Amino acid sequence: MKKLTIVVPAFNEEEMLPISMNKLLEIEDRLIKDELITSDSDVMVVNDGSKDKTWEVITKLHKENSRIKGIKFSRNFGHQNALIAGLDIAIKETDMIVTIDADLQDDPEAIIEMVKKANEGTDIVYAVRNNRDTDSWFKKNTAGAFYKFLNLLGVKLVDNHADFRLMTKRAVETLLSYKERNLFLRGLVPLLGYKTDKIYYKRGTREAGETKYPLKKMLSFAWEGLTSFSIAPVRLISIFGILASLVGVFMLIYTVITKLMGDTSQGWSSLMISIWMLGGLQMLSLGVIGEYIGKITLEVKNRPRYIIEEILK
Ligand code: UDP
Ligand code: MG
């Protein structure tokens, strides 16, 4: 039998944690009873620099039940880093890990099916939602377009899968050997290979508290996914550049011919338009190239992905 650890990132989740911990432990209890996981299976909450009483809640839950463990970050490092920290710490003492959000929008009942698949020898089980009804119209459409766009650029993602997945020990260890700072886990995991499978679930609504992903975080997450996994934007710029110079050559030939045919030169407006358009294009190109250089700077610095202040085990 194998030990299961459920890793839960939490940022300002004081209202949600008592409910979700209760539910997750209850699911583990059922799995334990059916002898699908060992009886020391646990839940690890990563407190991502919450501003509310999340850590106090985790400490209290840990006292009541030592199967609830906690990691406290020294400040907010973001969802993806909270997940990585949980995997990093938990994998030393467990055989498989399920990652799930604290709000339980992802149906925790699906964990049962995931564990069964893992016990049959699957290394990575993706939970895929079969509806987006509970997302706002805006989120549904922007997310859909974003995934299509990434696919177009050649980034392989599992459709409608967020960070709700099970990974066995060797899959987690392989994932941890990817040392990049710019983390976009749902792009990385499909690169690991191994035996993978999917299970389907219905996504619900957040029971308590509100989304910790405001538009600003969502946009930065999307940008991260795009530029960490694809150098297509830089290539696109080269193509733009080649096209622009071809237009320039064409215009040169055209002016020489009109000149030879005796026309006076007019073209002040066309000149101005070209200058502005090319200038704009160049600035845009520099911006995108700068973005990649910025990424290189971040990676080269090799800063820690997270800093832990306290651990409850
Ligand atoms: N979260 C986190 N750090 C952050 C933002 C969010 O650890 O900076 C956690 C949050 O507590 C939750 C999960 O990431 O467990 C997903 O956040 P949320 O449910 O608010 O996102 P949504 O479902 O609205 O996309
Ligand atoms: Mg949520």
Q: Residue 146: helix, strand or coil by DSSP?
A: helix
Backbone angles phi, psi at 246, to 5 degrees: -60, -45
pLDDT at 38 over 70: yes
Number of domains in the chain: 2
The answer on 273 and 166 residing in a single domain is no
- The answer to whether residues 202 and 56 belong to one domain is yes
Q: Do 17 and 145 lie in a common domain?
A: yes
Residue minimizing CA distance to atom 8 of ligand 1: 78
The pTM assigned to this predicted structure is 0.78
pLDDT band at 248 (very low <50, low <70, confident <90, very high): confident
Same domain, 241 and 111: no
- Could you list the residue range(s) of the whole structural domain that residue 147 is in? 4-214+305-312
Residue 79 Cα to ligand 1 middle (Å): 6
For the segment 96-107, what is each residue's pLDDT rounded down to a tens digit? 999 999 998 889
The predicted pLDDT at position 64 comes to: 94
What is residue 174's predicted lDDT score, i.e. its pLDDT? 95
CB atoms within 10 A of CB 180: 12
Residue 267 C-alpha to ligand 1 middle, in angstroms? Answer: 56
Least confident range from 28-32, 171-175, 274-278, 289-293: namely: 274-278
Q: Which atom of ligand 1 is nearest to the CA of 139?
A: 25
For residue 68, the model assigns a pLDDT of 95
Q: Do 192 and 261 belong together in one domain?
A: no
Give domain status of residue 146, yes or no. Answer: yes
The answer to whether residue 197 scores a pLDDT higher than 80 is: yes
Instruction: Clarify whether residues 203 and 83 are in a common domain.
Output: yes
Return the CATH number at 197. 3.90.550.10
Q: What is the bridge-based pairing of β-strands 4-10 and 96-99?
A: parallel
Q: Is the pLDDT of residue 186 over 80?
A: yes
pLDDT of residue 304: 85
Within-domain flag for 125:
yes
- In the block, tokens 């499909």 appear at 190
CB 11 within 8 A of CB 49: yes
Same domain membership, residue 169 and residue 273: no
Phi and psi, residue 43, nearest 5°: -125, 135
123 Cβ below 6 A of ligand 1: no
Query: What integer pLDDT is reported at residue 284 of this predicted model?
Result: 79
Residue nearest to atom 24 of ligand 1 (CA): 211
274, pLDDT greater than 80 = no
Residue 163: closest CA among 223, 97, 210, 92: 97
Same domain for 174 and 49? yes
Regarding whether 236 and 136 lie in a shared domain, the answer is no
How far does Cα 290 stand from its chain's mean position? Answer: 22
Residue 276 lies in a domain: yes
Site to probe by mutation for ligand 1, drawn from 79, 134, 206 as the one with most ligand atoms within 8 Å of Cβ, is: 79
Q: Do 194 and 256 lie in a common domain?
A: no
Question: How is residue 143 written in tokens?
Answer: 């997310």
d(CA 186, CA 102) in angstroms, rounded, equals: 18
Q: CB of 79 closer than 6 A to ligand 1? A: yes
Residues in the chain: 313
- For 43, the enclosing helix (H) or strand (E) is strand 42-47
* Count of beta carbons in the 10 Å neighbourhood of residue 63: 10
**234 or 200, higher pLDDT:** 200
Give me the pLDDT at residue 132, please.
65
Q: Which protein residue's CA is at the shortest distance from atom 13 of ligand 1?
A: 101
Residue 142: CB within 6 Å of ligand 1? no
Indicate whether 122 and 80 sit together in one domain. Answer: yes
115 lines ligand 1 (CB under 6 A): no
Tens digit of each residue's pLDDT (9 = 90 or more) over 107-157: 999 999 999 999 999 999 999 988 766 677 777 788 788 888 888 877 788
In short, whether 211's Cβ falls inside 6 Å of ligand 1 is yes
Which has the closest alpha carbon to 108: 196, 20, 175? 20
Which ligand sits closest to the CA of 210?
1
Q: Does residue 227 sit within a domain?
A: no
Ligand 1 centre distance from Cα of residue 67 (Å): 23
Q: What is the mean pLDDT of residues 44-71?
A: 95
- Please check whether residues 143 and 280 belong to one and the same domain: no
Report yes or no on 153 lying in a domain.
yes
CA of 101 to the centre of ligand 1 (A): 7
- Residue 6 structure tokens: 């459920």
**pLDDT, the chain, mean:** 87
Please check whether residue 80 lies inside any domain of the structure: yes
Cα of 170 vs centre of ligand 2, distance in Å, is 28
The mean per-residue pLDDT over the stretch 180-193 comes to: 86
Residue 263 has pLDDT above 80, yes or no: no
Position in ligand 1 atom list of the atom nearest CA 212: 20
- Give pLDDT, residue 125: 96
Task: Report the alpha-carbon distance of residue 258 to residue 264 in Å, rounded.
Answer: 8
Q: Is residue 226 part of a domain?
A: no
